[in-house]
Amino acid sequence: MLTIISGQGALPEQIVEGCKTRPIVASLEQFPPDSLQSDIIFRLETLGSFFQQLKMLGVNQVCFAGSIRRPKIKMELVDKMTLGLVPSLLQSMDQGDDSVLRTVIAAFEQNGFTIVGAQEVLPELLPRAGIISKLVPTDADVRNIKRATDVLRALEQLDVGQGCIVSNNQVLAIEAFGGTDWMLKSLNSRTEDWPYGGVLVKALKAGQDCRIDLPTVGPDTVIRAALAGLNGIAIQAGGVILLNPKSVRELADLHGIFVSIFEHTL
């Protein structure tokens, strides 16, 4: 049986809707799903008890979907079944999001659960290379895409983010705490001296565990990119989830921006 560990955003709901049999939906207390009804609500402080609850329900596969932020651990809420996990969780909290994810995945696997990626549940979430919009990138856009991918590769070891915005070969923003939405909103405060246009590029980090936390682009991303004055969005084929491609295509054409899916190497 499958359970979805649901964060926020549209991805969890799309996965649940795409499953022939509805999976169990679980969520962290601090980050409830936007629209799904959670069957189980838990905290990191009670992770051990959560594992036992899943086992009693016959769950053997776990899929993480949606966005969450790094929660703080409140020691007074830790239960007896979770005490043994606390040292590794606390240590990972100081080492970045990737470290926390690796620690959580390891805990699930050590308790007998198989972690499956969202793209394994719904393979159509990963689009093939190509341009899905009417508008196509110009030569200048292609150079900006290349520049952004170079920046992301240079930052891979720093566990910063999966997105970068470049205009006229200048880096305007790099994804960090707050994610893509925050990054795009930050462009709206640019002064007259900042160049308009540019591209948002999303790509997978080298060595990233593809079963969890794949970068995601959806209709809301298109709207925010258009409001920020960007020329388009480019995502890595096979490494970025594209939510609701039909709506993405329609919105891109409506707002006059391009959406390009590029191969791993440019």
Domains and CATH numbers, the chain: 2-121 (3.40.50.20), 126-262 (3.40.140.80)
| pLDDT at 264 > cutoff 80 | no
pLDDT digits (tens, 9 = 90+) for 209-241: 778 778 899 999 999 999 999 999 999 998 899
Backbone angles phi, psi at 90, to 5 degrees: -65, -40
| pLDDT at 266 > cutoff 60 | no
Percent of the chain scored above 70 by pLDDT? 91
Mean pLDDT, all residues of the chain: 88
Predicted confidence at residue 207, as pLDDT, reads 67
Q: What are the structure tokens assigned to 188, written together?
A: 């709206």
User: If you search the block for the tokens 């939510």, which residue do you land on?
Assistant: 243
pLDDT digits (tens, 9 = 90+) for 116-173: 999 999 999 999 999 999 999 999 999 999 999 999 988 877 766 789 999 999 999 9
| pLDDT at 96 > cutoff 80 | no
Q: Are 175 and 160 in contact (CB under 8 A)?
A: yes
| pLDDT at 79 > cutoff 70 | yes
CA 190, 194, 198, 202 dihedral sign is negative
| pLDDT at 192 > cutoff 80 | no
pLDDT digits (tens, 9 = 90+) for 196-208: 689 999 998 776 7
> 144-172 b/e with 16+ CB inside 10 Å = b?
bbbbbbebbeebeeeebbbbbbbbeeeeb
